[in-house]
């Protein structure tokens, strides 16, 4: 029975495959990201499995996917048709060309245009930028090992050399956290207490950052490398390798590639949040390839089980991407839609009926899909690359042949929208405290007399008052000791 249900589901998906493709080709973006993964490619079985190497994806600033395809190589020749049809999609819809493209490799060339500038040659003003986290990982090769005690400090120094926090946003978040701590019963929290109470998630949601500029970053990186040269741990192991300076000199060429492009707004205000009675803006950042990295960590779950033939693979992939896009599209709109459905065709029919009967659309935020542009996705692109598109002719037989009940069911939560976890923010948390150059008079006055005298005890969050707990514990021990002496004397 389970096999029959699975086969019926795959047939249903194939009956509306063009509609699913239209939902994907209706997505555009001003800031694009391109990245490839091998995670999902390993799940393809059959004759095509021997040739596929990469699953290449293109996303936008909202985290939506514009394209997802399987290919044998990431070369210009293999991705050329994809680029031509994507540029044609923008032209046909009369959409403005993207302004920025983020990648993790091939961002520039010394005497020529980069690979992606040649690939998207019709977008003459397209700026190609390198993802900052991948740049930092390249510089981490200068370290002897990641378990070195100074590794975290060194990596945080690199992040601080690249980015600076917006002082207004940081101070507003500090004020909100200070008010929150006071409401929790902590009187006059110190600046250190407030900063330790700020989480990585709060920094990402409420504070913006910007790059420092090429010259400043190079100068700070040189200072960082010089200051850590010769520094060792307690066992005498240096943090940097002997060729660390050479690695820095090589990678400094790409410092210009990680700078924020001029005139491009990388932060979008998506809402507001009240903390401690203070209203904080909520931002979504479009910088880097983090949203695609998040997709890659989930995309393998689009295909249930360990493997699938080409027909099942194509169906699961397109359904997964359509759901992924719908989640991110709805989460980027304020207010969010009241209708909770992944079926765009059903939403369109409900809107049409509601307008005809009630005179008002059930979902005013719904936008009809554009006509499918004919672009190829997933296994289709791979077969077209090999000249074997006829392999999809016998779909009905392959649906039945490929039916195997997977040990792991389809994870419907794998498409749910959430904040992407940017690994670089772990490093940035230690540098946000320097966003303000000076300490305000209010923060100085918050320090109590007991703290100034050096008699106050603090916990790991720098919350004071623990000296009173120490005194109470000492008094209780003294009382218990006195009771023991009294008992002994009475005996």
**Each residue's pLDDT tens digit, 425-437:** 777 766 565 554 3
Does 407 have pLDDT greater than 60? Answer: no
Does 442 have pLDDT greater than 50? Answer: no
Confidence at residue 314, expressed as pLDDT on a 0 to 100 scale: 93
Peptide bond just before 335 cis, omega within 30 deg: yes
Confidence at residue 453, expressed as pLDDT on a 0 to 100 scale: 46
Q: Given pLDDT bands bounded at 50, 70 and 90, which one contains residue 293?
A: confident
pLDDT in tens, 210-222: 999 999 999 999 9
Confidence at residue 452, expressed as pLDDT on a 0 to 100 scale: 42
Locate tokens 């200068």: which residue? 142
Does 43 have pLDDT greater than 70? Answer: yes
227 against 339, higher pLDDT: 227
Confidence at residue 450, expressed as pLDDT on a 0 to 100 scale: 40
Contact, 422 vs 204, CB < 8 A?
yes
pLDDT in tens, 80-126: 999 999 999 999 999 999 999 999 999 988 778 899 999 999 999 99
Q: How far apart are CA 162 and CA 259, in angstroms?
A: 8
DSSP, res 449: H
Q: Residue 472's Cα: distance from chain center in Å?
A: 47
> How many other C-beta atoms lie within 10 A of the C-beta of residue 27?
21
**Percent of the chain residues past pLDDT 90, beyond the cut:** 50
Mean pLDDT, residues 301-319:
90
Does 260 have pLDDT greater than 90? Answer: yes
The residues pairing with 102 across neighbouring beta strands, listed in sequence order, are: 33, 129
**Whole-number average pLDDT of the chain:** 84
Confidence at residue 101, expressed as pLDDT on a 0 to 100 scale: 97
Mean pLDDT, residues 235-245:
93
pLDDT in tens, 56-75: 999 999 999 999 999 999 99
Write out the two tokens for 408.
Answer: 């792991």
pLDDT in tens, 356-384: 888 888 777 777 788 899 999 999 999 99
Write out the two tokens for 1.
Answer: 């029975």
421 against 151, higher pLDDT: 151
Residue 471's H or E segment, with its range, is helix 466-490
Contact, 153 vs 143, CB < 8 A?
no
Does 277 have pLDDT greater than 60? Answer: yes
Residue 128's H or E segment, with its range, is strand 127-130
Q: Where are the domains of the chain?
A: 2-131+288-415, 134-284+424-445, 449-490
Mean pLDDT, residues 397-426:
62
Which of 32-36, 357-361, 391-395 is predicted with the least confidence, judged by mean pLDDT?
A: 391-395
Mean pLDDT, residues 32-50:
87
Task: Please name which of 239, 220, 240, 208 lies closest in space to residue 160, comparing C-alpha atoms.
Answer: 220
DSSP 370-394: PPP-----HHHHHHHHHT-GGGGS-
pLDDT in tens, 136-187: 999 999 999 999 999 999 999 999 999 999 999 999 999 999 999 999 888 8
283 against 412, higher pLDDT: 283
């Amino acid at each position: 029975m389970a096999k029959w249900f699975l086969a019926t589901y795959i047939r249903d998906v194939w009956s509306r495959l063009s509609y699913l493709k239209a939902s994907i080709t209706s997505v555009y973006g001003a800031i694009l990201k391109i990245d490839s993964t091998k995670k999902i490619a390993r799940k393809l079985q059959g004759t095509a499995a021997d040739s596929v190497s990469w699953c290449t994806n293109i996303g936008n600033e909202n985290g939506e996917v514009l394209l997802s395809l399987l290919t044998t190589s990431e070369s210009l020749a293999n991705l050329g048709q994809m680029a031509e049809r994507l540029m044609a999609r923008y032209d046909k819809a009369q959409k403005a060309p993207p302004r920025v493209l983020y990648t993790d490799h091939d961002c520039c060339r010394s005497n020529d245009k980069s690979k992606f500038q040649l690939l998207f040659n019709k977008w003459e003003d397209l700026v190609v930028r390198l993802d900052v986290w991948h740049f930092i990982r390249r510089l981490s090769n200068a370290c002897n090992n990641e378990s070195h005690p100074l590794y975290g400090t060194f990596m945080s120094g690199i992040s601080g050399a690249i980015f600076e926090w917006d002082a207004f946003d940081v101070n507003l978040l500090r004020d909100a956290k200070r008010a929150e701590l006071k409401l929790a019963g902590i009187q006059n929290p110190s600046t250190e207490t407030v900063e330790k109470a700020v989480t990585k998630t709060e920094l990402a949601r409420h504070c913006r950052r910007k790059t420092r500029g090429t010259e400043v970053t190079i100068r700070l990186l040189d200072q960082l490398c010089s200051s850590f040269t010769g520094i060792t741990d307690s066992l005498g192991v240096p943090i940097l390798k002997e060729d660390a300076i050479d690695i820095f000199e090589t990678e400094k060429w790409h410092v210009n590639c990680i700078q924020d492009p001029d005139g491009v707004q990388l932060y979008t205000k998506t809402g507001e949040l009240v903390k401690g009675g203070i209203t904080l803006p909520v931002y979504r950042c479009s910088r880097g390839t983090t949203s695609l990295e998040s997709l890659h960590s989930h995309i393998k779950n689009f295909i249930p089980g360990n493997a699938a033939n080409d027909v099942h693979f194509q169906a699961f992939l397109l359904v997964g991407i359509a759901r992924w896009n719908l989640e991110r599209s709805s989460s980027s709109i304020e207010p969010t839609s009241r209708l909770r459905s992944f079926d765009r065709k059903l939403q369109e029919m409900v809107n049409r009926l509601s307008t005809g009967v009630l005179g008002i659309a059930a979902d005013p935020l719904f936008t009809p899909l554009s006509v499918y542009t004919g672009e190829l996705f997933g296994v289709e692109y791979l077969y077209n690359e090999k000249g074997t598109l006829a392999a999809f002719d016998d779909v009905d037989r392959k649906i039945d042949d490929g039916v195997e009940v997977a040990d792991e069911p389809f994870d419907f939560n794998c498409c749910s929208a959430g904040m992407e976890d940017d690994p670089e923010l772990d490093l940035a948390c230690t540098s946000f405290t320097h966003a303000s150059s000076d300490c305000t008079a209010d923060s100085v006055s918050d320090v109590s007399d007991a703290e100034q005298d050096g008699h106050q005890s603090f916990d790991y969050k720098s919350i004071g008052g623990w000296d009173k707990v120490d005194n109470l514990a000492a008094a209780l021990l003294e009382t218990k000791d006195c009771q023991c002496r009294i008992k002994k004397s009475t005996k």
